[in-house]
Structure 1
Amino acid sequence: SEQCFPFYRTVPCDAMRGLLLAWCALLVGGARPSMQANSLNADTRPNAFRCPNNELARTALQKLGLESDKLPEDLCTHPSVGCEDCRVVRLELKAWLNGTMEAFQAVDSVSPFTALRRLSLKGSALSGDLRSLVNLTALEVMDLSGTAVSGNITSLSGLRKLISLQLKKTQVEGDVGSLSPLTALRWLTLAKSGVSGDVQSLATLTALE
């Protein structure tokens, strides 16, 4: 086929002519497809990049000892809170907090922490029973070392995704064998807690380091 221009040696004239006609039609019609697409896809919501207010989570954080007047409207911007898709996945609370573990209990079967994967209360003055954590089945890391948390360790037997469990210097008690279902567990510290029992009962925890 006939070649159109020397510098477009590989483009046939018919093809080049079609491209030029299409471009002229766009210019005459004033159409700007790329700009139109951008305007259609633009998110014009004023809070497009902010998580909505979650009163349930706000109340829970207050129970944990966080001052209400210092909690931002978007809780996910708080330094102690980590979120994914506006769901709380991380809580790392300061040592001076003196709230209660009841904050983790579901209210009317609803909990703001169902996606929580990392919980660190290390060295805080938080108190309460481990039973408050039974619904946090997404937990992978839990550090309650040096807290006044109490209760029976059997309450944690349903947290099958736990990789790290730190209960050093707590008032937690019970039979260590109740942790045998936690086969994903790699790190476990029970020193100076009330947990007792035969370590042979943990033979199923083959990932322990």
Structure 2
Amino acid sequence: MGLTDITDRIRAAERAAGRPEGSVHLIAVSKVQPDARVRTVLEAGHRHFGENKVQEAEGKWPGFRGDFADVRVDLIGPLQSNKARRAMELFDAIHSIDRPKLARAIARLAQETGGCPDLFVQVNTGEEPQKAGILPGDTDAFVAECRDLDLPVRGLMCIPPVDETPSLHFALLAKLAARNGLDGLSMGMSADFEEAIALGATHVRVGSAIFGARATT
């Protein structure tokens, strides 16, 4: 597999779902990938990437942005409130808004700086105790709280439990998003992004299928 194969599969899934070509954004998950692999994907023309950690992104993307000014980098991993300022400076979108404390920290910084990345609320659709995210039953109230803070909430994100059918979780996320008037659905990874597209995904997160196996640290 590789970038071309994944892109072709996304376009085919869009057609199968009766959706316009280009309606799904491919986030190439570059976490723990060597710079040489990332540069290869950049040179192939791809411009939308995802990172899990603020510190790793700080060491990688300022240099690449010097050569590829139109690149977009999203944070798709958890964010500590004390790293919110750095995240807002680095990323074009944050897909892991998952608690009121973080929302309030971002709102304060947005007022201070006059800008804010696009935000996605992470929903713990499987209600897994070890996983971050707002519980489904709390999603409406949390989205309303974020809007009261004038935060630019663009959509919802989920990571389904590994041992459950992902389509059930994608359908739940789509229902929650529609109920809250949100168009963005960040859902679907290497093994299930076609299912996610069929159920309305606007952003899919694919890593190893593009870059190869992750480097170990």
- The TM-score, its normalising length taken from structure 2, stands at 0.30
- Which one has the largest radius of gyration? 1
Normalized per residue, which structure has more helix? 2
- More relative contact order, 1 or 2 (CA 8 Å, 6+ apart): 2
